[in-house]
Amino acid sequence: MRYIADLHIHSCYSRATSKASRLPGLAAWAAIKGIRVLAAGDFTHPGWLQHLSDNLEPAEPGFFKLRSWNNDEVASCLPPGINPSDLCLADIRFVLSSEISSIYKKDGKVRKIHNILYAPDFDSVRRINKKLAGIGNLESDGRPILGLDAHDLLAITLEEAPDGFFVPAHIWTPWFSLFGSKSGFDAIEECFGDLTGEIFALETGLSSDPDMNRCISALDRFTLISNSDCHSPAKLGREANILATELSFDALQQALRNPVTHEGKKVFTGTIEFYPEEGKYHCDGHRKCRVCMEPDETMRNKGKCPICGRPVTVGVLHRVMDLADRSAPRYKKDAPAVFSLIPLPEVLSELLGVGPASKTVMRSYAHAINTFSSEFNLLLDVPVEDIAAEGSALLAEAVSRMRQGRVIRRPGYDGEFGVIQVFDEDELSRLAGQLELFGTQVRIRKRKKTPIIPHTRKTPKKKAAATLKKNKLNPRQQAAVNSSSNHILVQAGPGTGKTHTLVARLCRRMNRNPDPATVFTFTNKAAAEIRERVRQVPGIPHQSVFISTLHGFCLHFLRKQDPALQVVGPEMRMLFLRKLFPDQSKSALVTMSGQLSNLFANPGDLHTVSPETVQWAKKYSEMIDGRHYIDLEAIISCALAILKSDSPHAEAMRRQTACLYIDEFQDLNALQYQLVLELARSSSIFAIGDPDQAIYGFRGADPRWFFKFIEDLHPEVHT
């Protein structure tokens, strides 16, 4: 049978762990995640061992299950909305395991190495514990620190638990591992000597993935396993293993020894990986100095931090490159597959714009688990179209991209976790609009950027002076603010306070006339900035000012017609096209998708595209229209079509834009310009921009619309 196993966790007896890390909480979260087999952890600790023997009973050979549990205790570990009785705790299997931190001197160097021990029964565990208790204090920590050579720890394991096995833990972390840059070894033989042959699997840890490890030929004979090493049950399965074998300790061990059986059956089929960049020791750097460097940069800096001059903490990537003898990974035939995933709470956090542990995310998370039965089922197995149908198109788009590894990565360094995102900020705002995800409003959050080398930032003093200066309008700006013309175009270069002028005019208008007004910005970030500036002006009726990107504005009104409307991004478009045209090759579908995207963005070009494309577009539109979907590229043209009708929705759009402000006018594309022109029939327009700053070709932006505006509407021009 196929099952997912997380083989390295810690109990509440380990340092810095959650109180919920007791068997019922662990079993419940294993069920939520979709993990079938879980390491029980910390068997060297007498208190935890007592908890294990009190609460576990034998299941399959060498595997254990919960004897009984209290639903109230389980519920207290779960996010609200998940019912303990919906989880099959009785199905979760436990393996006896413990991690030992060995700190000892070898070959004149202090070594700090973590290893995981696995035992098939409580008798073996008690024998191991008896030996280790004579060497150090097992009660001080669930992961005890022993002054015991890793080689000797392996010898004890083999002797006291001959059917057990031994795996070096998170082999690349700088401070505590076999190959760690700070206190590890350069070769596994240096550590385990004559017993090296007893080791058959290595834990890659969160900071490295199989691609990195497979650049080292010396590791070819080892199976690479992945585990969460979690200190709270909610983090279970951050990394995990996928097996296809019977449930038993021996079958598990055999699968780790030989991922493919002699008969050619794959029994260890894959690992679930963190993106290694997310690990907190991926790149080199200094957390305190906010310096993050790629290995070649570190080399150029001779290993020194450019801020404080001290040696940087060398990350895993650098360390792997040092020991690598290949420039690209090489895999054996039938090697376990690798699935790089972002934990679901982090995906939801990105989509919802709030922290991964927030109530909002947990509510959506509970909804997702109740809908798709487990996190791994959703992330790995549920067809994307089902996620769209039962969850949301945005989540489907995110999962589809993640499954293909199309994500944005910002690496971790020196103890600072990296950040992996599915969407860039702009894209997310275009896809989401004011979307509801499982009944929760999607809010686009301004992302916290990792400031790298902070002295380049403005000092607070300078900033305050700049704000002070900004509050005063110069005579030219004042003239633009006071002008009584219906259409005004302000043409000004960067740093001349264009946005300040726009906000000043908007506030002046709102103070005199509280009727609705709308501001179009080019990015969501700019919208948030203007919103914030307007908020700081007292007496403005904020609720009648709509500040948004053009996309956001159009989506807002399209959703007034169909509140369930969701946006189909490029991934979902491909999926629908595959369904509609199953006989077409992938490259043909990619071309088709591009042509449709062009057609939707420029519906006026209908006569210039092939009749075939028009046919495709028709079929595709029929398919998605019936499902409350709209293609990302069709949003503006649909809104324009509504505006040109004389429906009540057109009326509402015109009412909201009776007074219209447009920021960065030079970045408009043809279709957006048409929309503005259509609105101008009933709106006064105040537009600002700089044709010299136009981002040519970006989403079809073209500064010629700036000049066309002058030609078409004869606005009063301020420079």
Q: What is the contact mask toward Zn ion in residues 146 to 185, using x (rule: CB under 5 A)?
A: -----------------------x----------------
Rounded least distance, CB 175 to Zn ion, Å: 10
Looking from the CA of 645 toward its CB, the CA atoms found within 13 Å total 11
Output 312 or 624, the one with its CB closest to Zn ion: 312
Which of 479, 473, 535 lies closest to 499 in space, CA to CA? 473
Residue 372 near residue 387 (C-beta atoms within 8 A): yes
Stretch that binds Zn ion, among 115-123, 148-156, 273-281, 308-316 (CB under 5 A): 308-316
- 382 vs 366: CA distance, rounded Å: 17
Rounded least distance, CB 415 to Zn ion, Å: 13
Rounded least distance, CB 130 to Zn ion, Å: 23
The only residue of 195, 242, 289, 642 in contact with Zn ion, by rule CB under 5 A:
289
Rounded least distance, CB 5 to Zn ion, Å: 18
**Angle at CA 90, nearest 5°, toward 87 and 93?**
110
The only residue of 10, 111, 238, 286 in contact with Zn ion, by rule CB under 5 A:
286
Output 145 or 528, the one with its CB closest to Zn ion: 145
Output 146 or 398, the one with its CB closest to Zn ion: 146
What residue spans of 483-537 are helical by DSSP H?
498-512, 524-535
Output 39 or 169, the one with its CB closest to Zn ion: 169
Output 143 or 401, the one with its CB closest to Zn ion: 143
Stretch that binds Zn ion, among 77-85, 110-118, 516-524, 662-670 (CB under 5 A): 110-118
CA distance readout (Å), 319 to 308, 324, 435: 22, 9, 44
Stretch that binds Zn ion, among 112-120, 345-353, 497-505, 590-598 (CB under 5 A): 112-120
Residue 347: both structure tokens together: 């995906």
Output 169 or 362, the one with its CB closest to Zn ion: 169
- 258 vs 222: CA distance, rounded Å: 9
Q: Count residues binding Zn ion (CB under 5 A).
A: 7
Which of 119, 118, 107, 114 lies closest to 146 in space, CA to CA? 114
Stretch that binds Zn ion, among 40-48, 86-94, 114-122, 707-715 (CB under 5 A): 114-122
Stretch that binds Zn ion, among 64-72, 181-189, 301-309, 420-428 (CB under 5 A): 301-309
Rounded least distance, CB 276 to Zn ion, Å: 17
Output 45 or 286, the one with its CB closest to Zn ion: 286
- 298 vs 38: CA distance, rounded Å: 39
Q: Chain-centre distance of CA 146, in angstroms?
A: 37
Rounded least distance, CB 550 to Zn ion, Å: 44
Output 310 or 458, the one with its CB closest to Zn ion: 310
- 604 vs 607: CA distance, rounded Å: 8
Stretch that binds Zn ion, among 87-95, 109-117, 128-136, 191-199 (CB under 5 A): 109-117
Stretch that binds Zn ion, among 14-22, 256-264, 278-286, 640-648 (CB under 5 A): 278-286
Which of 12, 20, 17, 14 lies closest to 77 in space, CA to CA? 20
Which of 47, 71, 137, 63 lies closest to 100 in space, CA to CA? 137
The only residue of 31, 39, 305, 635 in contact with Zn ion, by rule CB under 5 A:
305
Rounded least distance, CB 284 to Zn ion, Å: 11
Rounded least distance, CB 613 to Zn ion, Å: 56
Rounded least distance, CB 238 to Zn ion, Å: 14
The only residue of 88, 110, 187, 308 in contact with Zn ion, by rule CB under 5 A:
308
Q: Chain-centre distance of CA 705, in angstroms?
A: 37
Stretch that binds Zn ion, among 287-295, 447-455, 510-518, 707-715 (CB under 5 A): 287-295
Q: Is the dihedral of CA 504, 507, 511, 512 positive or negative?
A: positive
Per DSSP, the three-state class of 250 is: helix
Rounded least distance, CB 71 to Zn ion, Å: 32
Rounded least distance, CB 338 to Zn ion, Å: 22
Tell me the β-bridge partners of 98. 117
- 82 vs 85: CA distance, rounded Å: 9
Biggest CA–CA distance in the chain, Å, is 92
- 331 vs 404: CA distance, rounded Å: 19
- 236 vs 9: CA distance, rounded Å: 8
Residue 240: partners with Cβ closer than 8 Å, 6 or more residues away: 4, 5, 6, 33, 35, 226, 227, 228, 271, 272, 376
Phi/psi for 231 (5° steps) reads -105, 0
Output 305 or 502, the one with its CB closest to Zn ion: 305
- Per CB under 5 A, does 114 bind Zn ion? yes
Residue 359: both structure tokens together: 């109530």
- Per CB under 5 A, does 452 bind Zn ion? no
Output 111 or 533, the one with its CB closest to Zn ion: 111
Amino acid identity of 686?
Answer: F
Q: Which residues bind Zn ion (CB under 5 A)?
A: 114, 169, 286, 289, 305, 307-308
